Amino acid sequence: MAIILFDDDARNTLLPLTYTRPVADLRIGILTIAEKWAEYLKSTFSFCTEAYLQVKFPLAIHDDNIFINGSVCPDEAVVEAIKSLSSGQALRCGDILVAVKLNDVYAAAFNPLATYTNEIVYNNELVMIRHPEDIFRKNDTELRKDFKLLTKGRKSANISSTNTIIGDDFFAEEGAQAECCSFSTLNGPIYLAANSEVWEGTNIRGPFALCEHSQIKMGTKIYGATTVGPYCRVGGEVNNAVIWGYSNKGHEGYLGNAVVGEWCNIGADSNNSNLKNNYGEVKLWDYPTKSMRPTGLQFCGLIMADHAKCGINTMFNTGTVVGVSANVFGGGYPPNYIPDFSWGGANGFEEYAFDKMIDTAAKAVARRPHRKFDDAEKAILTAAYELTKGVKK
């Protein structure tokens, strides 16, 4: 039985994060949503997404297929409900199609907006990622679930005795390194993946996950619920942030209630505000309506899409959205919405020249020898560039 993770209208409400990936490729907790489903169902997965993304995220249809909504994070209850589906039967939670089981003939014509004559109503609570702020807002829940999923039946590797570990929910994979650090699991678990490093003098309060080959620099302060994805380097002060992978926040500065995509770089002493001076509700730029959307949150910081960069001493206001491949620099506060492929700062933006943008992206990827900026990566950025062309900078 093949798992196919599909995009529905959440792809639009999650922009700009989903210009460069399917919804199920979002990382929350320790794993991406797709990786979670693979762990729960012990199966491989593919994606049903936008045509320009399918080269990198292919679709594979088999004789028996389970289409699963890519915005839904699995738990034991919903997994059992999906396993119980018969061919042609669907699982729906409110207006959201959660899953449907289809043979190869019907799978080829799958429509995420379709309804089915044989539908089961799912009444249990689900963790669903429908807006960018859901990623940091629900990261605590997903960190705890992923920690249990990945450590069940396993024993932590030994960690240096120079560290102080408070509480019992600490797990290190083989190759994880730390010296002279403090890890408190009293408020949530801490997970250090293979070949990750936590440098001297760092203080971490769970829940927290450090993914493979990432580094936490000396003297860093991290508060839960925070995730640092693979091949990142992080320093300064971080609180309730999710950094997906291959990105750097290597210096002092505050990052809080935030989501940072892949291949991003945050300059030294850059900060984001996560609380308005009047303690009011934070609004975020909404791509479908092209207007500011109330989030219902008092704490909401920075949403930064893939390949975005900011120079030293950048000051991001509360509830700032930075689009794909935006390059932000200069003094003052830039606006709360920085369009995709923009170049500039508080004094205004212009369109990031396409060739220069591609050249910068290729150089960033080249810094990780095991990754290549191939035709598929270039085609995705090219498509996203065309989709956002003409947006006022």
Task: For residue 335, give the nearest of 319, 351, 324 by alpha carbon.
Answer: 319
pLDDT tens for 30-50 read: 999 999 999 999 999 999 999
- Check: CB of residue 302 under 8 Å from CB of residue 317: no
Is residue 281 pLDDT above 70, yes or no? yes
**Structure tokens given for 369:** 């020898």
Is residue 328 pLDDT above 90, yes or no? yes
Partners of 221 in beta bridges: 203, 237
Q: Span 65-75, mean pLDDT? A: 97
Give the pLDDT confidence score for residue 258 in this predicted structure.
98
Q: Span 280-296, mean pLDDT? A: 97
Q: Span 306-318, mean pLDDT? A: 97
3-state helix, strand, coil in the chain (%, to 5): 20, 35, 50
Number of alpha carbons in the 13 Å side-chain half-sphere of residue 187: 14
pLDDT tens for 194-241 read: 999 999 999 999 999 999 999 999 999 999 999 999 999 999 999 999
Give the pLDDT confidence score for residue 392 in this predicted structure.
65
Number of alpha carbons in the 13 Å side-chain half-sphere of residue 362: 12
Q: Span 143-149, mean pLDDT? A: 98
pLDDT tens for 114-135 read: 889 899 999 999 999 999 999 9
Give the pLDDT confidence score for residue 229 in this predicted structure.
98
Give the pLDDT confidence score for residue 369 in this predicted structure.
80
